[in-house]
Amino acid sequence: MITLARTADWLEEHFRYSEILALLRKKTVPVHRFSYFYFLGGMTLFLFGIQVVTGILLLLYYRPTPNDAFESVQYIMTQVRFGWLIRSIHSWSANLMILTAFAHMFSVFFLKSYRKPRELTWLSGIALLVLVLGFGFSGYLLPWNTLSFFATKVGTDIPGQVPGVGHWILTFLRGGEDVTAATLTRFFAFHVALLPGLATVFVGLHLLLVQRFGMSVPPSLEAEWRAKPAAHREVPFFPNFLLRELMAWYVVLAILGALAAFLPWELGVKADPFASAPAGIRPEWYFMFAFQTLKLLPAKLGPVNGDLVGVIGFGLAGLVWTLLPFFDRGKSGRVTRWIAGAGVFVLAYMIVMTVYGYLAK
């Protein structure tokens, strides 16, 4: 105990952490019936942390060349002590992170937390979602198995449909006309250097903005609290909220462990670029709604290519979604109702199309 106190004194003397703790203690988090949604952002951050740690461990053995990539992942899974656990957790955590990121975004949407003054928090969050999807897309190819190889081929074909810059995007992503060794190296570079760098910047900005403006309270609750101030409850961020968040993280950790032990992430069969694409190639679940939509579109919509209409449609929808805080100022009830309705439609559309994509042959 004496050693602990001495260490604390030493740290205080050299770091002055008590000032930071005082600041954290001063920060409060509202407590209400929607408080559980506050954990989603923290859970996403926790999973991002797991990705960083397990990713670094995988990097110790992974080799990003078509000849070695598959074998190195196989080596990690069979020979490296606890390699199976690290690889499985990395894959499962990636998927859970995308799930919690989407859940976090929709909770922010339905609780209307994106409104003024949190426009930049929303924008930085959207940027993080795009980055997280980028992590998923680039990481999927790295084991260089048949499914990931052909899914990347299909996936990189889609931006190739964009008029004007489409072909440039396609060659930029692939490092040439086809999915080759050049694609693997650049996806690896995106996955372990470019995207983590950008993500660090945006996570920092996002957290800073959350700290600056505090936790948002849904407008309906704010009205309730104004009418009945006694109902207003808050807890200190440190340690009360942080301990609760810690509980959520432990639950996530237990889920990850269970998934890794009971459903180890498959490695599949090594990609053969000269083989024909196997039947039933489909993307990861988080791209399924878009993939299924493009599949359902006819080859030609009037004089225009069907896929092109789909790509432009998704692009425009994404742009409108990103600029949402600038449309919804909370001043018009009609606009608010329309936006809420659109949000329900978007969520339902994504779920229905994803399920349809898995059920359709």
Partner 1 sequence: MFGRLPLVVSALLLLICGASIFSVRAAAQTQNTCLACHSQLDAPLKVSPDDYTDSIHAQKGIVCVTCHGGDSSSSDPARAMGKAAGFRGAPEHKLIPEFCGKCHSDAAYMRGYDPSLRTDQFSQYLTSVHGKLHAKGDIKTAVCTDCHGVHDILPPSDQRSRVHPLNVAETCSHCHADAAYMKPYGIPTDQFADYSASVHHEAMVVRGDLSAPTCTTCHGSHGAAPPGVDSVSHVCSTCHVFQAQLFDSGPHKDVFAAMGLPSCVTCHSNHRIEHPSDAMIGTSENAVCMKCHTDGDAGFAAAGAMHDDLTKLDSSIARSDEILGRAERSGMEVSEAKLAEADARDDLTKARVEIHAVQPDTVDRDIQAGLKVAASTYQAGQSALAELRYRRKGLVVSVVCIVFVLIGLYLMIRKLETKVAH
Interface residues with partner 1 (CB under 8 A) are 74, 77-78, 84-85, 235, 239-240, 243-244, 246-247, 250-251, 253-254, 257-258, 260-267
Q: Given the complex with partner 1, which of 261 and 352 has the nearer CB atom? A: 261
Question: What beta strand segments (E) does the chain contain?
Answer: 28-31, 233-236, 300-301, 304-305
Q: How far is the CB of 74 from partner 1 (least distance, A)?
A: 6
Hey, how many other C-beta atoms are within 10 angstroms of the C-beta on 120? 15
Q: How far is the CB of 246 from partner 1 (least distance, A)?
A: 6
On the CB side of 105, how many CA atoms lie within 13 Å of its CA? 23
Q: Given the complex with partner 1, which of 202 and 241 has the nearer CB atom? A: 241
Q: Given the complex with partner 1, which of 29 and 101 has the nearer CB atom? A: 29
> How far is it, in rounded angstroms, from Cα 283 to Cα 302?
28
Q: How far is the CB of 248 from partner 1 (least distance, A)?
A: 10
The residue behind tokens 């659109």 is 342
Q: 96, 195, 82, 206: which is closest to 142 by C-alpha? A: 195
> How far is it, in rounded angstroms, from Cα 193 to Cα 172?
16
Q: What's 278's DSSP letter?
A: P
Asked if residue 259 lies in contact with residue 47, where contact means CB atoms within 8 angstroms, the answer is no
Q: Given the complex with partner 1, which of 260 and 324 has the nearer CB atom? A: 260
Q: Given the complex with partner 1, which of 159 and 264 has the nearer CB atom? A: 264
Is 82 exposed, middle or buried (CB count within 10 Å of its CB: 0-12, 13-18, 19+)?
exposed
Is 347 exposed, middle or buried (CB count within 10 Å of its CB: 0-12, 13-18, 19+)?
middle
Q: Given the complex with partner 1, which of 11 and 269 has the nearer CB atom? A: 269
Q: How far is the CB of 38 from partner 1 (least distance, A)?
A: 15
Q: How far lies 339's CA from each of 121, 170, 270, in Å?
A: 19, 34, 46
Q: Given the complex with partner 1, which of 47 and 290 has the nearer CB atom? A: 47
Q: What torsion, rounded to 10 degrees, do the Cα atoms 48, 54, 59, 61 define?
A: -160
Q: How far is the CB of 22 from partner 1 (least distance, A)?
A: 17
Q: How far is the CB of 63 from partner 1 (least distance, A)?
A: 17
Determine how β-strand 300-301 pairs with β-strand 304-305: antiparallel
Q: Given the complex with partner 1, which of 74 and 185 has the nearer CB atom? A: 74
Q: How far is the CB of 251 from partner 1 (least distance, A)?
A: 7
Q: How far is the CB of 146 from partner 1 (least distance, A)?
A: 13
Asked if residue 213 lies in contact with residue 117, where contact means CB atoms within 8 angstroms, the answer is yes
Q: How far is the CB of 243 from partner 1 (least distance, A)?
A: 5
Q: Given the complex with partner 1, which of 87 and 174 has the nearer CB atom? A: 87
- Tally the residues of the chain: 361
